[in-house]
A and B are shown apart, each in its own frame.
Chain A
């Protein structure tokens, strides 16, 4: 597609439930990133995929968080047993190379009640 597409745009979930957030990157972009942005804060790196290489999971805050990228394209970020502190905007970005030209989606606003 023309841009990075994320769904849903908003998600309200009850504490303890699992959620799945989806990212559809720009076609041909081999690198895909997930970030978390709390209200008024900066970008917190979560996980990074590059082609067929093993993902860099160094930013995942706990084992409740996981992500996969199928066929080098669509990615899903899963948060299990959600907690209120998980409430944030989850942003996905893709790029042709690692360090240049990131294109971000509009994010998924997750609210855990």
Chain B
């Protein structure tokens, strides 16, 4: 029940295309869903996050879509660029008093 399942494990997208990464969870007590971006040689960095009171959050080319009934959330990267090539992690927590539970990561490659 504590797991967050992330897919796909790896993804190749042409420049200008839409990259989509999906995550699913079981624990309905989760109420915070962040996405982290990690470049080689660096630690993960917070990219965007959503709480379950909204179905979508957009920041620039990055959008989180949240489906509470399906217990799924996804990251969409519009107009994907080679600089977006990185590993992306989804995560979830029950709020500020509990640790983040991490997905396994998706390695995204944007082909020029």
Residues of chain A at the chain B interface (Cβ within 8 Å): 4, 33, 40-43, 45, 48, 56, 91, 93, 97-107
Docked CA distance A98–B97 (Å): 5
Residue in contact with B93 in the complex, picked from A4, A33, A98, CB distance below 8 Å: A98
0/1 string, B96-112, CB within 8 A of A gives 1:
11111011110100000
Do the beta carbons of B102 and A99 come within 8 Å of each other? no
Q: Per DSSP, are chain B's interface residues mostly helix, strand or loop, or mixed?
A: loop
Docked CA distance A4–B98 (Å): 20
- B95 interfacial by beta-carbon distance below 8 Å: yes
Per the CB 8 Å criterion, the residue count for chain B at the interface is: 24
Do the beta carbons of A104 and B44 come within 8 Å of each other? yes
Docked CA distance A93–B43 (Å): 9
- B61 interfacial by beta-carbon distance below 8 Å: no
Residues of chain B at the chain A interface (Cβ within 8 Å): 32, 34, 36, 41-46, 49, 89, 93-100, 102-105, 107
User: B97 contacts which chain A residues (CB < 8 A)?
Assistant: 97-99
Docked CA distance A106–B41 (Å): 7
User: A101 contacts which chain B residues (CB < 8 A)?
Assistant: 46
Expressed in whole angstroms, the minimum distance between the Cβ of A55 and any Cβ of chain B is: 12
Expressed in whole angstroms, the minimum distance between the Cβ of A1 and any Cβ of chain B is: 15
User: B34 contacts which chain A residues (CB < 8 A)?
Assistant: 100
Closest to A96 in B: B96
List 16 additional contacts besides A99-B99, A100-B49, A100-B95; criterion CB under 8 Å: A33-B99, A42-B102, A42-B104, A43-B102, A48-B99, A93-B43, A97-B96, A98-B96, A98-B99, A99-B32, A99-B93, A99-B95, A100-B32, A102-B100, A104-B42, A104-B45
Docked CA distance A33–B43 (Å): 13
Query: When A99-B93, A99-B94, A100-B93 are in contact, do A106 and B43 touch as well, CB less than 8 Å?
Result: yes
